[in-house]
Amino acid sequence: MKLGYTIIYVADVPATVAFYETAFGLTQRFVHESNLYAEMDTGDTALAFAADSAAEMNGLAFAPNEKAAVPAGWEICFVTDDVAGGFAKAVEEGCTPVTAPETKPWGQVVAYVRDMNGCIVEIASPIDQVRD
Amino acid sequence: MPIPRGYSEAIVTPQQSRSVEAVWSYVATSSGRGVILPDGRCDLILRFREDQRGTVQPVVTGPATQPYEIRYAAGDGWVGVRMRPERGIAVWGNAIGTAKDQVRRGAEAVTLVPALAELVDMAPCEAELRAGLLDVPDVLAHQDVDARVARTVQQIHLTGGRVSVVELAARVGVTARHLGRLFQSSVGLGVKTYIGLVRFHRALRLAARGGVALSEVAFEAGFADQAHLSRAVRRFGGISPGRVPPELILPDVAGSGQGLFGAAGQF
């Protein structure tokens, strides 16, 4: 098996796609005509959004992503050389700041925000994997 | 579940089906009996004998929490409009608070919903009655829907009923007590009862899909164990586990469009 998709269930798919385009600079590659599903242009492993009601249709039930709710215990991480700029832009476009950019002991710059649906998004500088 | 490009068949989601009043009809081609499982919603129904004038009888139901058995003969027909859960008050007015599991027939039904009066004199034709009945929800007295109750109903369905009343209340910015009052005066049921119905139906549907052990279904649907699930099946289905009538009728609560006659056989 390989990781094919990361699918985040949201109340409003087109609004979330538009939000990710402005807040994180992604581009969409496909929005289904039903507006129940969309994919961002993120390479082989698609970041996708599906409507809450599509999940219900498939028998799934979950704690819906919502700004006012406690976020689910996982995150999306975007990598950029300009974490401070990315963080400022995300907050300016409507993300809720969680932690401002800070440098970790291993040299990586990391910031956290929550997106329009309350999902945790990390913005981090690239890290060179140490290989031996 | 990714939806592929080019798949253009109409997709009706559960949310969409809950946000409109759904019309249904059935004309029996043979005699029999059926058990209708409760879905917590109010229905406006016209019962008739096909091709016999003067047989149209109006029926108005309150939000159901009990299974309901019907017996019918060939040619017995029904058309119905299933109201959105939060629109119980539109049908029952302020009597919604005591409408749980109530049924009004004939003149009593017309007193409750005067717009049914003119349909009673119509020809007992399924298509015409359907068309006539579908107009009734628009002329009911109470048209206002409390957005907090509508959102709470939505939240209960999305979580599959695995959510507390306190949490639901916090999400719409009221106390649990206040949400209880709002819900009762709009849906006609307590929040917990509605939560129970949603969990029960989700468990039935998961079981009906097959391929998963009943103990796993119980866990996923939010029941502590299989015994709890069996108790819910007894409470809302009136069924002893292991004694399921084959003619069980599951209302399409989740709006999946799947026919589920006899689907709960493994209980």
Say if the Cβ atoms of A64 and B159 lie within 8 Å: yes
Query: What is the Cα–Cα distance from B7 to B115, expressed in whole angstroms?
Result: 41
Distance CA A75, CA B39 (A): 37
Q: What is the largest CA-CA distance in chain A?
A: 49
Provide the shortest C-alpha distance from residue A62 to chain B (in Å). Answer: 5
- From residue B195, alpha-carbon distances to B56, B117, B153, B158 in Å are 35, 35, 9, 11
Beta-sheet pairing, A75-79 with A96-103: unpaired
Identify from A8, A34, A56 which residue to disrupt to test chain B contact, counting B C-beta atoms within 10 A and taking the largest count: A56
Q: What is the DSSP letter of B23?
A: E
- Is A109 a member of any domain? yes
Decide if A131 is inside a domain.
Answer: no
Which structural domain range is residue A19 located in?
Answer: 5-124
Q: Respond yes or no on whether ipTM tops 0.85.
A: no
List Cβ neighbours of B208 (8 Å cut-off, separation of 6 or more).
Answer: B250, B258, B260, B263, B264
Task: List the single residue in B with minimal CA-CA distance to A37.
Answer: B3
Whether the CB of B2 is below 8 Å from some CB of chain A: the reply is yes
Q: What is the DSSP letter of B40?
A: S
Q: Kindly determine whether residue B1 and residue A7, on different chains, have CB atoms separated by under 8 Å.
A: yes
Query: Cβ–Cβ of A56/B157 closer than 8 Å?
Result: yes
Domain ranges of chain B: 17-139
Question: Do B13 and A7 count as a contact with CB atoms less than 8 A apart?
Answer: no
A130 assigned to some structural domain: no
Q: Give me the pLDDT at residue B260, please.
A: 35
Q: Do A56 and B14 touch (CB under 8 A)?
A: yes
pLDDT value for B19: 60
Within a domain: A101: yes
Residue with tokens 């249709």: A57
B1 → closest Cβ in A30, A54, A61: A54
In three-state secondary structure terms, B25 is strand
Nearest chain A residue to B204 by CA distance is A59
Q: Is residue A132 part of a domain?
A: no
**Do residues B37 and B66 lie in contact, with contact meaning Cβ atoms separated by under 8 Å?**
no
E-strand ranges in B28-90 read: 32-36, 43-49, 57-61, 68-72, 76-82
What is the tens place of the pLDDT at every residue in B200-257? Answer: 989 988 887 777 888 888 999 999 988 999 899 888 988 755 555 555 555 544 443 3
Phi, psi at B168, each rounded to 5°: -60, -45
The pLDDT score that the predictor gives to residue B263 is 33
Number of domains in chain A: 1
The list of chain B residues with pLDDT below 50 reads: 252-267
Domain of A71, CATH number, reads: 3.10.180.10
Q: Provide the shortest C-alpha distance from residue B208 to chain A (in Å).
A: 11
| Nearest CB partner across the interface for B13, out of A32, A54, A64 | A54
Residue type, position B97, single letter: G
DSSP conformation letters of A97-127: EEEEEEE-TTS-EEEEEE-TTS-EEEEE---
Judged by CB atoms closer than 8 Å, whether chains meet at A58 and B1 is answered as yes
Query: What's the helix, strand, coil split of chain A in %, to 5?
Result: 20, 35, 45
d(CA B138, CA B130): 14
- For B173-217, the DSSP string reads TS-HHHHHHHHHTTTSS-HHHHHHHHHHHHHHHHHHH-SS-HHHH
pLDDT band, very low/low/confident/very high, at A118 (cuts 50, 70, 90): very high
**Contact between B45 and B113 (Cβ < 8 Å):** no
pLDDT digits (tens, 9 = 90+) for A23-82: 999 999 999 988 999 999 999 999 999 999 888 888 899 999 999 888 999 999 999 999
Spell out the residues 6+ positions from residue B199 whose beta carbon is closer than 8 angstroms to its own.
Answer: B160, B161, B162, B221, B222, B223, B232
